[in-house]
A and B are shown apart, each in its own frame.
Chain A
């Protein structure tokens, strides 16, 4: 019989609990609503487990210090919201190219700019993919409940450690500030992945960016362990040293892209309900999924054949499954708290094989089940 703790907590609080369960020992950030509780709770809880919290002078520094903490060997996280997410982008690209595992939480609020502080939004979904310059690997997850926030934060750490890449948790103000009952799993129920490190026998032969046979990413030493390696945001060779060589650059960028695209099955999570006879599918994520589910159940009660697809992993996109849905001639509706961002990706994947509809909202209020239901009836 498991003796799980049952608590009433906020999404933001569950995020910290998940991070601690995953082994977070370092947090650097800057206050911004609606993510601030994450910093506050980290400042309270990290020292209790021997971890470190630091409030930096700005968002950019928060991202930089998070990367520094990870290079020194600690599982590291930062959290922010819209404007801060914009400021962190350059160093997110650094972490992607230098292959530094870390977790970035974005509790999305309505933008652009200072926008509507701090009304909910899902306006940063495309920024998560394209926010930093240059091609770069992206993993982003988006939870729909407090419990899922806990679970996905653990998952974010595991994916970042496994693939040596920054991973984003795309919360939104709805889930971040919502309070729900959550049963916290016990430590032995939580799967934890720690980065693979080189052994001490490899001190003299270690190449910081060489992928060993059968591995997905290079083994990662920490500063101070005797491996004199170099880390840079320049294109680099297997030793980590800068290189302007065309082949070296091409090989490196393709390798860090492929480590994600070759492992989509391991990374992508989604859930489906009411799909068998569905003539139409509502594809939703984050806080909006909650309204979508309610709308689909109402539609079913009315005899409408509507299915539900929950995108848990936002990036990379579950292309294979969505193509199947499109081939089955099921219409797709994407409700989201922006003027149609994720729907663009759905349209790209579907490529005209079925009808794709968008339901966007940007007035700072959540999309209601009735609004989605009305759209379902219009489309069907």
Chain B
């Protein structure tokens, strides 16, 4: 039996999804739907935009205005949609490779403009759709099909990247900490400005297998054991933070939003004409 949440927010005839057994993406997608429902958003005014990759199939399953674009370009398409119709709540679904490699330029500039777009990164540390190549968030020394001797790249911290670029809401959650993730997504959507949620997912099929991380359950347990809430982390000694990563809210500020600023220009100069 499908829950009311699924019935209300998904295209039932498009399910089941294409993701592998054990993939974390379905949990994050559900969390998004829960957040949208909790906020009571008008479905007609929600537009979900994605790029290319495993993550980017999500909008096809969701019963909103949905746009599946080209690799890396979701934020640029979304910028066009949002500026053309600022009434729309625009949410971008992207992956670690999609948003921080091929789409890296769009990511930093969309953040810089502080345009009211919420970006949910389904971050599984690997290119899944193409079969397990290392991505900009694959940890150094980990393996991928294009890093057979270990990855010598350094990984991006996507939260720090967009914080530096000008995003006004930045947070990280995981596919394990679902309730927290839903709350974070709610806050990200509510922020009037550029918001990013780095949603840590798991890819047992490629990243897990290449790096001997065990089953999906073991990978979920890793998320549970290794994630430390940023508020808790402040009170812990450094030795307790070794090999941990931080989740929770990193930034929540208010700055002028792009489409509002543009509408001010229209209001001022259209009137004077």
Interface residues, chain A, with chain B CB atoms under 8 Å away: 25-26, 28, 47-50, 52, 54, 56-58, 60-61, 64-74, 76, 90-91, 94, 222-234, 241-242
Q: How far is the CB of B29 from chain A (nearest CB, A)?
A: 15
Query: Any chain A CB within 8 A of the CB of B45?
Result: yes
A47-B79 CB under 8 A given contacts A52-B84, A242-B60: no
Q: How far is the CB of A37 from chain B (nearest CB, A)?
A: 20
A233-B78 CB under 8 A given contacts A26-B83, A61-B106, A72-B85: no
A232-B60 CB under 8 A given contacts A26-B83, A48-B270: yes
Query: Any chain A CB within 8 A of the CB of B269?
Result: yes
Q: Would you list which residues of chain B between 122 and 166 have a CB under 8 Å from chain A?
A: none
Question: Which of B64, B80, B273 has a CB less than 8 Å from the CB of A65?
Answer: B80
Is B79 within 8 A of A65, CB to CB? yes
A47-B266 CB under 8 A given contacts A61-B105, A225-B44: yes
Is B270 within 8 A of A231, CB to CB? no
Interface residues, chain B, with chain A CB atoms under 8 Å away: 14, 43-45, 47, 49, 59-60, 63-70, 73, 76-85, 87-88, 105-106, 108-109, 262, 265-266, 269-270, 273
Rounded to whole angstroms, the CA-CA distance of A58 and B73 in the bound complex is 11
Is A73 within 8 A of B106, CB to CB? no
Q: Could you name 9 residue pairs across A and B whose Cβ atoms are closer than 8 Å?
A: A52-B262, A65-B76, A68-B84, A69-B84, A72-B81, A90-B70, A224-B65, A225-B44, A231-B68
- The SS class assigned to the A binding surface is mixed
Question: Which of A91, A223, A241 has a CB less than 8 Å from the CB of B65?
Answer: A223
Is A57 within 8 A of B70, CB to CB? no
Rounded to whole angstroms, the CA-CA distance of A71 and B88 in the bound complex is 12
Is A226 within 8 A of B44, CB to CB? yes
Is B270 within 8 A of A47, CB to CB? yes
Which residues of B sit under 8 angstroms from A47, Cβ to Cβ? 262, 265-266, 269-270
Q: How far is the CB of A158 from chain B (nearest CB, A)?
A: 20
Nearest to B52 among chain A residues (CB) is A233
A224-B80 CB under 8 A given contacts A47-B269, A61-B105, A94-B69: no
Is A65 within 8 A of B77, CB to CB? yes
A60-B76 CB under 8 A given contacts A26-B84, A224-B44, A228-B65: yes
Is B68 within 8 A of A233, CB to CB? yes
Which residues of A sit under 8 angstroms from B78, Cβ to Cβ? 68
Question: Which of B49, B64, B81, B265 has a CB less than 8 Å from the CB of A69?
Answer: B81
Nearest to A46 among chain B residues (CB) is B266
Question: Which of A48, A68, A74 has a CB less than 8 Å from the CB of B273?
Answer: A48
Is A230 within 8 A of B59, CB to CB? yes
